[in-house]
Structures are given as structure tokens and as C-alpha cells.
Amino acid sequence: MMKTKLNGIITLLLAFVVQFTFAQEKTISGTVSDETGALPGVSVLIDGTTRGTETDFDGNYNLNANEGDVLIFSFVGMSQVSRTVGMDNTINVTMVSQENTLDEVVVTALGVKREKQALGYAVSTVDSEQLTERADGDIARVLTGKASGVQIQSQNGMSGSGTSVIIRGMNSFSGSNQPLFVVDGVPFSSNTNAQGNFEDGNNGSSRFLDLDPNSIESISVLKGLAAATLYGTQGRNGVILITTKGGSSAAGASKKTDVTLITSLFINEMASLPNYQNEYGGGFDQAFGWFFSNWGPSFEEGGAAGWGNSSSINGTDSGTPGFLRHPYGTASAATGTPQAFPEYADALYEWKPYDGVKDFFRKGIISNININARGSSESGNVTYNVNYGNLSDEGFTPGNKLIRNSFSVGGRAKLSNKFTVNSTLNYTKTSFKTPPVAASYGSNVSGENASIFGNLFYTPRSVDLMGLPYQNPITGESVYYRQNNSIQHPLWTVNNAGNTQETHRVFGNLAAIYEINEHLNLRYQYGIDVYSENNVNFSNKGGKTGSVANRSGVYDTWNNTKTIDDHNFSFSGNYDLSDFFDMNFVLGATSRRDVFNRNGVSSTGQQVFGVQKHFNFAEQDEIEYFEERNILGAYGNVEFGLGGFAFVTLAGRNDWVSNLSEDNRSIFYPSASVSFIPTKLAGLQGSNVLSYLKLRAGYGTSANFPTGYPISSTLNLDTQDFQDGNGNNVITNSTGSQLGNENLKPETIAEFEVGAEARLFRSRLTIDASYYFRTTNDLIVSRPLDPSTGYTTTRTNVGEVENKGWELDLGYDWFRSETAGGFSWSTNVNWFTNEAIVTDLGLDTDIVVYSGFTNLGNAAIKGESISTMIGSAIARDDNGDFRVNAAGSYVEDTGNNIIGDANPDFNLNVSNSISFANFTFGFLFTWVEGGDMYTTTASTLLGRGVINDEGVNRENSFILPGNGPDGQPNTVQINNSTYYFNNVLYGTDELRVYDATVYRLQEVSLSYNLPSRFLDHSPLGGLSITFSGNNLWFDAPNMPKNANFDPNVAGLGVGNGRGFEYLNGPSSRKYGMSIRVTF
Amino acid sequence: MKKIIKLIKLMFLSGAVLLVSCETTNLDLTENPNALTPSQADPDFFLNAIQEDFAREIVEPFGRSGAEVVRIDYMDGRDYANAYSPSNFDTEWRFAYQRIMEDISKMNDLAVDAGLNRHIGMGQVIQAYTLITLVDFFGDVPYSEALHGSDNLNPNADSGESVYAAAIALLDAAIVNFSGEAASNPQHDFFYDNDWEKWTKAANTIKMKAYLASRLVDASAIGNFMNIVDSGNYIASNSDDFQFSWGSNEVAPDTRHPRYSGSYTSTGGEDYMANWFMNEMLTSNDPRRFYYFYRQVANAPGYGADPDEETLECSLYAPPSHYDGYVYCAVEEGYWGRDHGNDNGIPPDGFTRTLAGVYPAGGAFDDSSYHSKKNGDGNGGNGITPVLLSSWTDFWIAELKMKDGDVAGAKASMLDGISKSVSKSTSFAVNDDPNESDNIDNHYTNMGNSFDNASDKMAVISVQYFLASYGNGIDAYNFYRRTGYPKTLQPNIEPNPGGFIRSFPYPANYANTNSNATQKDGVGVQVFWDTNSSSPGFPISN
């Protein structure tokens, strides 16, 4: 069935493609005026090109154009006018002041375009200018700072790593808080299929990476529930509505073929390196050792900490002062290193700082090409769009690369028999590869695999990271400086271990609309989204970290196939019942089926070094998982307009879901919203100060259904659990750890929002403010159970979360040019804040740890923020003073203490656009205020002694504030390493938490548009060059200064855990140029 | 209009076909296809898991923690209050209840109907030992309200005393199940290979262990203990030993002794051995030391070799004043371990420090050849986890005889214990040393003389008991809290480590998830059978 459908689509699209038309160029002239007379300085531009002219003092213009071209007339304060060139050679235009024109049109739920003034809820729109020609190929990261209420966080700085998107804060701690992505009207899987958990390594892209930002026409962000009611449960976290260029052709494009080519080249480099100190080298307590730590002697010979005191360096052992014996010569014979490297047997090794970490990284190259062609038939009844994009993004970390190829076709045909059909089809192939990244606590990795960053940033200054051979020439195993070879050389990791993910994806839709009469339409739409994600996790044998299996060599290959089938029927109509009263409605039914199927093989025990084939491994085990879920929905929406100044929308949807028991399967969500525009009332029109004011209010509801199989209890079977005395595998059964809960209900969410939009001072100042208040009830919690119940977890409904926030968008035009090419400067600011408080936990528990480790993670605690972080704290006595033990270190309170709140106080984004002549300069500055972060990177750099804490001399001692065991003020002196190593790095969790405030220069760009006169005799319609950069500068003022740590990292992966980081790597900085050419 | 209606009908009809096709409208997808359903369980498969989980997740880790605090193994932590965090015991707690006891309960549902009495009996022995151990380490723990699933998500703890009584009742029931008929034997019996008389002895021996532990609070305990001794139906010879055997398969599955996996790796040893323990064996010329430990070097820095700031920093330092008279830093003759409480970072000494030996971990026999060892070396992990040994029952009897003033009887029992322990551990490797049997005989004589010459004979018994307890410190930890012996254990490297751990903190996954659970106020809380004076002050070594 699927095959015939695809064939049909392809035939249809071929029909569009042969519709190219070419027309003859001629001279168009005319006069532009407004109600007061001729209008000089009006810009006249041929749409989709940079060719154009301006009206002269008398409002006249001349321009060469083709029949079918669209002329765009624009003038500050006036509404833009577009006219299509037809048979006539004269086009006269009367422009009207902006205040009196219709409002902008935005895309709302189910792709319905509506006037923004009619909406009773907040919608942010981002157009292609803010999305294309960017260094980042990840559409979500490109959105950073561009829509209020939207928080974007990268998992790390690797090209192709996952990205978290949260709109208006978190509603739920067990369900996904990621928004629904809808591309060209159909749901689009934005899952992040991590290749494991955060401890063992969870590399994997977020699947919106399969979209090329350059192929996107516009994005609407539906933030509130009133906006997203029609999406039912899927829309509960907000909706990112993406219209691709292919999809937008459905709206009717220019009649001429219009080709745009964008090519870009960027440099991708690490955004920050710690400010390493270069006074001391590897060791502990000022004594030398081939350790992880850098608390060794100084690089000066003299002084209390000088190397002159160390027999290893002062010539006693090596014969040459200032030199050590080479670590590969002195390594334990059992490592095989001395035998493999006889040349180092008597070699010397200089005691000096080596700056290896800097050289470990590289400058990656990002190249990007996007070609888009669009056009329409002469009649305008058939339109099409074809897009091809290629991205090659080399990460700054060796071994990290992302390659994406995407191809899409879309079109629309208005048939003679009242049918309109439109369709888009996209194919994307995305290849992502990275060295392993996994949690590390500053001493190798914590989980089973390796991590590229796990042993890198705290490389002792005296270790020649880049100069020491990393591979044993005989066995291929990793070799490094530590004398028992228990550190995996980062270069070995790069060359011998990694994760790859190659995704083939097809998505698109087919819609047919039947126009019953001028008032009524029937519409059917089928959407398909299928991807096949091929994952590999491998490590050659001879690694030195992780499990014994990992060291024996591992090769895991598996495929994830995800399918979303979406059917949507709707019946819609609109009636102007009187001059004063109009209404429109839509009724519909929809079904969505999600299937996720994982199959693969996990092999361990590599035989021949370096060969990654399952036959080359001793043992194989299965990898499999299957999940399916169906959602059926029925919806209705009716909107009334009253005299153009008031609008009322009522909507409702019922969902039925397949993985709950029959009683809890169905839920209905109503919503209502109103919009009122006082400035449209007779007495308030025409004010020069307040030209437009809209007040709005909306109420919406939604629900969150659980995923997976929460109501069933299971039994485990393991065919390789143990072996009997003869070496035969023993098969075991064990009870599943999840207690199935038949009574599980969906979470319900209700939101009330109010807002105001205004334009003041001839639209110089625009304001859009929203306040929302949202409660989530019956939260589904994967509640940890006391194992003495017989289970360790159950999914249950508890309590309530209250989520409220403000969003404020301001725009101001500092300078407006009265003429094209004049000086103009506008600033847009968005500020938003969100606070989600657990108001009730219900049942009988006062804390639910929902992410991270059970004793170090995020927890829901009554009265606290949903992103509360818990962990061990410094023990306090009854007066609240710190307790210090007899050794002078803090006493640890190991309970689940609150150690921070990862939720920021506010986000502020400021963008500026300045243009003069043919230059446009813009920048985006972002400010995230507050929010805490548990950082292993910063604490490891301090605890291992490779950076200095600001203003601290490491040869001085510390007396920690607090009271000793006797209750008297502590007087015990401890040295630097005891404080930073034992207390900060490996003491209480509280000491590793810092404020994550960060200021960032997110984007800077400078573009130059080649004046059209240079292009008159070329085939080019326009040419522009843009120089831009991303993340060029940041400052996290409350982090340890010399760590230069970027808190934009999600150590727990894309999920609900926030505020934790386990040496996950730095962020990236990208800069370069792009050229856009139109034909 | 008619045409329109027809068309609408057609569209919706075709839509309806699409909607119902491809399973898109099936709303009953609640069964998890990624696992079996509980109805597909097999009692043999359950029992396989129960046995392995018992050895790996109960006896080994508790045996380890118990040994660490009494210096049989090395403990990392200068501060007793923080040496073991609550989450340290999450895994043990989870396996005790959610796996072992819940699996036993689910197995019994099937086994009762099928008449699989042996399965039930083995489950009862394992459950009894597990419960007693939980009480010994944590005090009051849930039992009567446990394992009720959704009917009780916050089980209350029962008193340690009542859990002990319940465990003894389980053992009595097990003995009945071993003696009667059964529909069939289990698929695998990793302990006794379907020898039900030995299972009965094991059940009786666990009862002895429980009676002995509670002798300070239960006047009838000693009588009950002696009744079993008199019956002779307990673990009295090495062939009766209650132990779990491990294999040598490295991955998929890893069947090696857990301690072997931590000592024999591609980057050398990851565990340290305890200096006090090795020093006791060396100074008494104990023949078992070549089986218990493997020395990778002939001499440790500062103790026969040059001091080394890199691999053994303390080799440069004088012992702290409170270590006067105790072994410090390392032991002579290459026994390179760590002092009690030492929390220093780990230097690159993986190929030089002393490793666990051939007994019980399945490592290498120490033939004084001083090689660095890696995974696969020695016996490859093919060792045992001792649960209850015949040598230990001799020491228990010796303890009671001393209490009764029967010094000669105590000496005989102690020497029996030493003899069984020596013959057991030395059977794990072939020793080419021609003097081996002389050494063993001499040791036996020397120990007898030590006993005779000692003014505090309990001190000799207690040290010898600890030396025999290598591999499982659960009962040694109980003994230490019950008797206060030995009094000569190496102190914590920290002069002021706080009071000794009289019970461990409740596991985090109990204290933090069960609303009826409250974390203890420190590690000084004593379990029900421990009526000795509080710490610090008791036991004397701390």
C-alpha cells in the first residue's frame, strides 16, 4: 500500500517539475502615492532578488522586469504592497499607513493561517532571515534567543550532539518536556535516541537535526495550551511549527522560477580552554608522581616545592637534573610498555609544562550548500519547490563529524474539479560520528565505556599529551604515562573508539482539499515520518577504562526504525453572517501511530585488533526493543469575529491512547480564548501615540500520556546470566523491577494566559507581553519504591506542579531610514522568566528523585522548584555552622540535601539590526541569569591542581570555617590539595555547585548586498555576502574564573535532568562567511 | 448537492479505511513485548537467579564490608560516620528484597503447586541468611509488611529480634522440606549438588549463627546452640562447607569471583589488602598467607626497598604517634597493602601492590616469584565465596567454651578451626615447597603454644578466627561487636575517627523512598543483640 502511495506522489511531483516557464523582460514604470500625494524614496524591488529601484521626488519609477515578476513596494510606516507584472507596462500604487492595514498573518495549529490580531494567545514567529546562513546546522540551536519563552540547551559542543528544547518551563518530571515538532503540517519525530545512559555515554543526535535550517521558510512557536489544543496530548509542551520552503509553495509562490543558492564556510573551534597554571607539575603533596593529579613539585628548581627536592627529577634517578626517566622506560613491566618501546629504556623526559590540551583540539571546517528552486505555472494553479542541502560539519574534537544531505520536493496543484492537492517529500541522510563521551568524575570514566573528555582536561601540566605515543606497536593497546597504564590515552580513544549514527529519513505529506463551496472545505492529510537510524558503538581491545568487556573490545550495532503515521480529516467552513459578525469552524478526526523498533547485536571480545566485524568477536548478545502506541483524536474549533475588534475562539479535543487501561484511555481538553482590540473602536482610532493595542486572554488544557508500557508487570529472562561448572550457560528468571499500575491516569495540564500587544509612536515601539499560569495535576512519576515492597519503581499519579511565568518582547526602531539604503537601527529584546514549583507531592512521600543518581540528581520536593538539585552537603551543627572533622575537612551530610536549583531566574535576549547603504550588521546577545550547575569540569580542574583558584597561593594552607568535633572553631590547617582534592573534588556535592549565570554573544553578522546595478547585465538576481559568528564570546562570572567553563551543557543528556555536568566537554565557537545568490 | 454528499461520503469512507488499516486504531496495546509476562516463569530459572544473586549481591558485598571494618580487608575512610554512605548499600538492599526475596516468593507460587519442596527449602535457607544479615548490618528492617507490592508501598520495619525469629522459623521449615519427598530436584544446585543432608546441616548452622549472635539478649540462645552441636547435624567438616563456586569466564557472562575481577585487571590491582591482616599472618608465619595473598614484588618501598614518593608516599614518613606498636604503611617481605582508614588517592601501584591470592578469590598462588599479574592469571577467578565454613563453627564453639571457662576445650576447638581452615585454603593450589607440611605442623604447634602462653586467651582465639574468616567478614564483624575482640587491631590512620560503626546507615533507597523509614542518627546505633557499651570506648581497638 505504501509503495503505490509513494509512486503516486512521485508522479505528481514530476508533473510540477515540467512546468518551468520563461518570460520576456520589459520596462515597467509608474507612480507611487499615498493619501497626501506622491511618495518619494519608496523602494521597489523584484521579489526574491535584490534588483530594484526607488521612486524619485515625484514618486515615479522605472524598472526592468519580466512578466510574472512580483514587485514589492515598501516604505517606512506604510504597508508593503506587492503587484505582479502582467501585460501592462504601467503599475501605479497607492500605499496606506501601516496602522490601518490588516494585521500580520501567522501559522497556527494544524497549519491554519490566521490574522495575528484574532489570536487570544501568544505565538512567536521566526522567519527565514533569522534562520538561514547560520553556522549551526541544528535548527533548535539556531532558534536560541529568537523566541521568548524558549530555552535551548546543548548536550555538549560536539557537532551533531543532542539538543534540549523547553518551552515555558517543565510541566512534568517523568514525561517528556520537549515540544512537538510539526513540519509542513505533520508531526515530526524530534526524539533523541541516545546510545546509552549518561554514565556509559549517551551520544546521539536529536532528530530535528535532519532539518536543514536553510530550507526553512518560517517557524511559529505555539507556546501556550490554548494555542495547541488541537494537537491534543502531543501539543502539551508547546509546538514548533515549521514551514519548509517546499511546504510553503502550497501557499502560492511567484510565477517565475526563482533559484537561490547559499554556500557557507565556517570554522568550528573550541570556545574556551581553561587558563592552566604553568608553575607546578604532576604529583601530590608537592612530591612527584605519574599521577592523575597536578599537585607535584614546581617547575623551578629551588624553593620548598622546587624539583630540586625530588629525587626523581633532581638527577638522583635520571642522572640529569631537571629530567625524569622517561615514563615508558620506567612503566611496570606487566604493562608491556617498556618492552614495546625499547627506545625509551634510557631516555630522559624533561620536567616542564607541556601545553598538550590546546593542541589536542583542532579547527574544524563547516561547509554548507543549499539550493532552492521554486516557481509556478503560468496560471498560478500549480506551484512547486525543490531543495537540496549539504552540510559537512567537522567538530573541534578530532573524530567528531556531521554530514547531512537533504533533498526535498513539494508542490501544490489546484485542479479544475474543485480539488486542490499538495504534497511535500523530504529525504535526509545524516551521518554523525564522535569519539565516546560519557560521565567522568575526574578520574577515568564512571560507567562501562570510555570518554574522550574523561582524562583530557586535567592532564597534568608535566605530561606531554601530544608527544607521548598512544599505541603499543605490538598489541595495539593504549599506552600512557601512568606506570600501571591505567589511563586510556585520549589520542588512543580518538583513534580506536567511537560512536556513529547514520540516519536515513523520509518524511512528508499528501493533502487533498475539496472545496464544497465558497464556504466549506473538506480536507484529508496523510503524513509520514520514517527514519532508520543505524548506530554503532565500538572500541578496539586494549582500552584501559570501563568494564572488562569494554577492555576486551566491543562492537555494538543496532538499528532504530521509527515510524509515525498520521491521518487527519477535517471539515471546515467560514461565514460572514453579517457585517458585524463572522465565524469559522473546523471539525476533524485524526490518528497517529508511533512505532519504534530496535534490533541489533552486541559483541565483546575482539580477536584480531582493529577489525570491527561481529565475526571477529568472541561473544554476541542481542539488542532489541519494541514500542508502539496509537493515539486517536477528534477535535473541533470555532472562532467568532465581532466587528473586527473582538474575536472569540472555542476549541476542544478528545484523545484516546492505547497503552493505558480502558478506564483511563480517553480524555477531553477544552480551550477558549478571546482577543480584544480597543484601538479598532471608533473613538480610539488614529492615535499617534498608541496606534495599536490588543488585549488577550486564553484558557487551555492538555494531558500527558505515559510512553512505554506502564501498566504491565514483567518477568526477566537472561540466557547468559551465569555458567555451571561445565561452562554451560545458566538461564535465569527474575521479577521485573517495575510494579505495573493498572490505575495510571494521564497527567492533566491547565493553563491560563493573558497578554497585551501594542504599537506606539507610529509603530516605532512594539510591545508584546504575556503572563501564564499553569498547573499540572496527577503528575506521572516513575516513583522509586523501597525495594522491600518487592519492586523498585512504579509509575503513578501524584501531586501538582504550578508553573508561571512572564514573557516580554520589545522592539524599538532607533533610526528609520526614509530612503532605501539609509541608516536604520532596530533593537529587539525578549525577556522571559519561568518558575515551576511542586505544590503538592501527594501520596505519602516528600521527595521523588527523578533524574540523575538517587543521591545526586534532580528531585521533586514540595514547595521547591521542579529543577531542584539534591546531593550531599556540608554537615551543619544546630547553629547552622559548618562541621569540620578532626582532620580539618568538612563533615559530609550524605542525605538528600538541596544543593541548588537549575532553573534560571530569567533569560534576556537582545538582538540588533543596523543597516546602512548595502551593509547590514546584526548581533544577538543572550543573558541567562541564575540557575545552578554541578560542574565536574571546574571542580576537577581545581581538585587536580591544573588551574589555580583566583587569588590562592597553593603553598599556603587553609583553615576551613566551621566548628571542629569539640564544637570549638576549627583550627586545623590543611594544605591546598586537601581542600581542593578531598573537599571540592571528592568531598560533599555542595562544593561542586556554582551559579550558572552566563552572558553570551550568541550571534554576530555583517552582510553586504551587491547593489542591483552591478547585476543588471548578469543572470544573477541578487548577491549577498555575510560574515557571521556564533558563540564568539561568553562569560560565566560566578564559575571558577580560570576554568572558563561554559554552563551550556546538559550532562544528563536530553531529558528532564538539569544542572549536572560530568566532564562532558566544552562548547564550540563558529565563524565564517556565506554567500547567497539568486537567479 | 447530491453529488457533493456522495463525494463527502466517499472521502470519509476512504478515510475510515485508512484509519482502521495498518493497526492505527488499535487502542489495546498495554502488554510489554520486551519481556516475558509473569505467567511464563519457570521455578528452576528463578532458583538459578536466586542462588547467584545470593552469592554475588549479598554474601560477597556484606562479607566485604564486614571484613573492612574489622581490618580483615582494607577500609577507605578516616571518618567512621562517612566511611559508608547510605547509597553504598542500595544494591544489596535492592537485591535482597526486589530480587532474592521477591523471586523466592514468585517461585514458591509455582513450586507449592508443583510440589517442588527442595526448591522451596533452598529458598528458605537463602532467605533466612539474607534476613539475618540485614538485621546484623542495619538493625530493624521490613519483613512482615514487605513484598506486598501495591498493597503497601511503605512497609514498616520489624524489630531485629522478630526478624531473627522469622528466619529461624524459615530454617525449620526448610529442614522439613529437605527431608520429605519432592516432585523433582532443582536444575542447578550450586552449593551442594542436590545433597539434601548437607542442606539440612547448612540450615542448622545458620540457626547456630543466629543463636550465637543473640546470646547477649536471649537466655536460651546458648542452649539452643549447644543442642545443635550435640546433634552433630551441622557443618563440621570441610566437605560440608556452605560455599558458592565461581568460574573463570570473563565476559558474557562474567562468572569470575568478584574479588578477582577487582584484583586482576589489565592495569593491575584495584583493591588493597589490609596491612594489619597480612602482618598478623607474616609474623605468625601462617602457611595460609601464600594462598590468601599474592605479592607482586619482593619488597615494598621503605620496607626492604628504597622509599618511593611516587608509589608509596608514606614510605617517606614516620608513623603517627597513635600507631606506636602497630604495623604502618606496608608490611615487610613485599606485603604491600594499606592502613585502616587511609583515604589517599591511588598511585600507580597496580602492578606492585599485593593482590588477593588463590584462596578464596581464584587468583594466583604466591610461589614467591614476584610477577605482576593481570586478568586471566592464576586460577582466572575460579574461586569460592564462603558462606559458612566448618572452621568457623569450631571458633564459635571455642568462644562459648571460653565463656564457660573450659580453656582446654576452647583450645582444642580453636586448633580444630585452624586445622580445617589451613587444609581448606591450602587445597586450592599445589605448593612445591618441600617444607609445606612441616610448616603447617609447626604452625599448628605454635598456635597451641601461643594459646597456652597467652594471658588473654580470647585474644588468640579471636585473631585466629579472623584469619580463618578471610573471604567473608559477616560473622567476624558480628563477633567483634559481640565480644570486643580482638583488642589489638590496627587503629584508624585518623587519630580521631569517631565512634565505631555499630550498624551501617540504612540504604538510601530505603530511607529516601519509604515514608515509614527514618535514617539513623549516625553509625553508633546498636543492633538488637548488641548490648555492649556504646562507641567510642567499645570495642577497644577503636
DSSP per-residue letters across B401-459? HHHTT-HHHHHHHHHHHHHHHHHHHHTTS----TTHHHHHHHHHHHHHHHHHH-SSHHH
Q: Do B513 and A784 touch (CB under 8 A)?
A: yes
CB contact set of A302 (below 8 Å; sequence gap of 6+) = A308
Chain B's closest residue to A516, CA to CA, is B4
Q: What does chain A come to in residues?
A: 1079
Contact criterion met (CB < 8 Å) for A287 and B310: yes
Residue A291, C-alpha cell as written in the block: 599521577
Contacts of B229 (CB under 8 A, 6+ apart): B208, B393, B397
pLDDT lower than 70: segments of chain A: 1-24, 35-37, 76-77, 97-103, 248-256, 686, 818, 820, 843-844
- Chain A CB contacts of B152 under 8 Å are 789
Spatial separation of the C-alpha atoms in residues B414 and A380, rounded to whole Å: 104
Q: A818-846: buried (b, 16+ CB within 10 Å) or exposed (e) per residue? A: eebbeebbbebbbbbbbbbbbeebbbebe
- Which three cell numbers mark A655? 484523545
Q: How close B434 gets to chain A, by Cα (Å)?
A: 29
| A-chain residues near B255 (CB < 8 A) | 722-723
State the cell numbers at A1046. 561554559
Of residues A525, A620, A596, the one with CA closest to residue A250: A525
CB-nearest partner of B34 from A592, A621, A626: A626
Q: Which of A642-651, B285-294, B476-485 has the lowest mean pLDDT?
A: A642-651
Does position B264 have pLDDT exceeding 70, yes or no? yes
- Using CB atoms, pick whichever of B41, B509, B517 lies closest to residue A733: B41
pLDDT at A719: 92
Residue B154 to residue A791, Cβ atoms within 8 A: no
Q: Are A235 and A109 in contact (CB under 8 A)?
A: yes
pLDDT of res. A102: 45
Query: Torsion angle of alpha carbons A700, A705, A707, A708, nearest 10°?
Result: -170
CA–CA separation, A1033 vs A1004, rounded Å? 10
ipTM metric: 0.92
- Could you say which of B28, B49, B352 has the minimum Cβ distance to residue A733? B49
Q: For residues A731 and A234, what is the distance between their CA atoms, to the nearest angstrom? A: 41
Our CA angle for A139, A144, A147, nearest 5°, is 100
**Kind of pairing between the strands at A93-94 and A25-34:** parallel
- Nearest CA-CA partner of A613 in A686, A540, A550: A540
Three-state DSSP state, A1043: helix
Residue B263 C-alpha cell reads as 584484583
Task: Report which of A492, A481, A640, A621 is spatially closest to residue A558, judged by C-alpha positions.
Answer: A621
CB A458 within 8 A of CB A280: no
Over range B337-350, report the average pLDDT. 92
Give Cα separations from A532 to A207, A242, A387, A505, A565 (angstroms): 11, 22, 22, 6, 15
Contacts of A311 in chain B (CB under 8 A): 309
Concatenating the DSSP letter of every residue in B121-186 gives HHHHHHHHHHHHHHHHHHSSEE-TTTT-GGG-SSPPEEPHHHHHHHHHHHHHHHHHHHHS--S---
Of residues B398 and A956, the one with the higher pLDDT is B398
Number of neighbouring beta carbons within 10 Å of residue A224: 30
Contact A486 B375 (CB under 8 A): no
Amino acid found at A353: P
Give the integer Cα–Cα distance in Å for B232 and A666.
67
Residue A251 confidence (pLDDT)? 46
Cα A385 off chain centre by: 28
Nearest to B35 among A544, A736, A887 (CB): A736
pLDDT at A319: 92
Q: Which of B11, B37, B512 sits opposite A896 (nearest CB)?
A: B512
What is the mean predicted confidence (pLDDT) over B504-518?
A: 91
Q: How far is A788 from chain B (nearest CA, A)?
A: 5
Interchain CB distance below 8 Å, B41 and A629 = no
Bridge partner list, A150: A167
DSSP-derived letter for residue A196 is S
Q: Classify A184 in phi/psi space as left (phi over 0), alpha (psi -120 to 50) or beta.
A: left
SS3 (DSSP) at A142: helix
Say whether B27 and A619 touch across the interface (CB within 8 A): no
* Cα separation, A975 vs A956, whole angstroms: 7
Chain B partners within 8 Å of A790 (Cβ): 97-98, 101-102, 105, 146-149
Report chain B residues whose CB lies below 8 A from the CB of A308: none
Q: A112, exposed or middle or buried, with CB in 10 Å at 0-12, 13-18, 19+?
A: middle
Residue B233 backbone phi and psi in degrees, to 5: -90, 60
Residue B390 has pLDDT above 80, yes or no: yes
Chain B interface test: which of A786, A798, A891 (most B C-beta within 10 Å): A786
pLDDT band at B7 (very low <50, low <70, confident <90, very high): low
Cα–Cα dist A584/A569, whole Å: 17
DSSP string, A390-449: EEEEE-SSTT-EEEEEEEEEEEEEE-TTSEEEEEEEEEEEEEEEE-------SSS-SSSS
Question: For residue range A348-392, what is the model confidence (pLDDT) as tens digits?
Answer: 999 999 999 999 999 999 999 999 998 888 777 888 889 999 999
